[in-house]
Amino acid sequence: MTNTARHIPVMLNEVLEALAPKDGELYVDATFGNGGYSEAILKSANCKLIAIDRDPSVIKRANELKELYGDRFEFRAGEFGQLETLVKENIDGIVFDIGVSSMQLDDDFRGFSFSKEADLDMRMSSKGISAKDIVNTLAEEELSNLIYNYGEEKKSRQIARRICEQRNIKPINTTTELAEIIYSINPKRFGQIDPATRTFQAIRIAVNDELNQLKCGLNSASKIVKENGRIVVVDFHSLEDRIVKNFFNENTSKKVHTSKYKDTNEEIDYTKIFSFCSKAIAPSDKECNQNPRSRSAKLRYAIKRKENINE
């Protein structure tokens, strides 16, 4: 694949350390993309791996890995929010790379990037409602709330109002048309994040139901992963990271203090799913310099409890 080198897996070394692949075990790459994590996992141990992705454009790359690794690799098309339907096996570990991939951003025809003229699409699966549908049909208040809640955009009301004004004149069909509307409210400033970033993020999240997908994916992963199995998540913005952090923290056992007269004054809550969850791990300065996409990344992982009484 000629463009493989451009699509660098974020925090690859940290992902492998957190997942800790072993010979003979079964892993899932829930967000296959260009296969960076999948191939690294398969190289790191004589294990098997199931890759999942809803984007039909990744099938060519999946076929390449199938040729290289044979029965050790299997690709299953679908959304990781439906993980329990796609993966019936019990697995030893799973990795999620949340959000839009560099492949999707680089594709001039997918409409994910405001820096490229393209049809206003943003569908990861190439099915269902598009960004164009949302921008041209959603009521102004709903559009404003969407941009604020999913993009954390302070000027969401003004942007939504201007979008509605413009679409009453003519439909908004392209990425650059939408970006110019945003710039009319929030002009570009040198050295600052592009003002279209948050609105595009919000619309993309809505189009692909990304936050609900993440919640469902984490819940399903916690069920199909074996005792002592690991769930590893790399995310890129606060909305995603808050979901991951809360899910891990709420389902990880904490030590409970008991009587000071006992030999040990701490007991473990065995009703929780996980025995351990990490704090947020950031990419190294070296990686941030070499791969700008990694700058906003955070990695968190959890280990499933061995003595889970609910199982």
* pTM summary value: 0.88
Residue 159: per-residue pLDDT: 97
Separation of alpha carbons 220 and 209, rounded Å: 16
Tens digits of pLDDT across the chain (311 residues) = 334 434 678 999 999 999 999 999 999 999 999 999 999 999 999 999 999 999 888 999 999 999 999 999 999 999 999 999 999 999 999 999 997 655 555 556 565 677 778 889 888 888 889 999 999 999 999 999 999 999 999 999 999 999 999 999 999 999 999 999 999 999 988 878 889 999 999 999 999 999 999 999 999 999 999 999 999 999 999 999 999 999 999 999 876 544 555 555 455 666 899 999 999 999 999 999 988 888 889 999 999 998 644 44
pLDDT, residue 110, reads: 63
Among left, alpha and beta (phi > 0; psi -120 to 50; other), residue 243 is alpha
Separation of alpha carbons 231 and 219, rounded Å: 11
The 8-class DSSP code of residue 114 comes to T
Residue 280 and residue 233: Cα distance in Å, rounded? 10
- Rounded Cα–Cα distance for residues 174 and 131 (Å): 10
| Phi and psi angles of residue 268, each rounded to the nearest 5 degrees, phi first | -105, 135
Predicted confidence at residue 261, as pLDDT, reads: 53
What is d(CA 236, CA 100) in angstroms, rounded to the nearest whole number?
A: 9
List strand residue ranges (DSSP E) for the chain, in order.
26-29, 48-53, 73-77, 91-97, 225-235, 255-257, 266-268, 274-277, 298-304
User: By C-alpha distance, which of 61, 56, 4, 51 is closest to 30?
Assistant: 51
Please give the pLDDT value at position 185: 95
Would you state the pLDDT for residue 311? 43
Asked if residue 30 lies in contact with residue 101, where contact means CB atoms within 8 angstroms, the answer is no
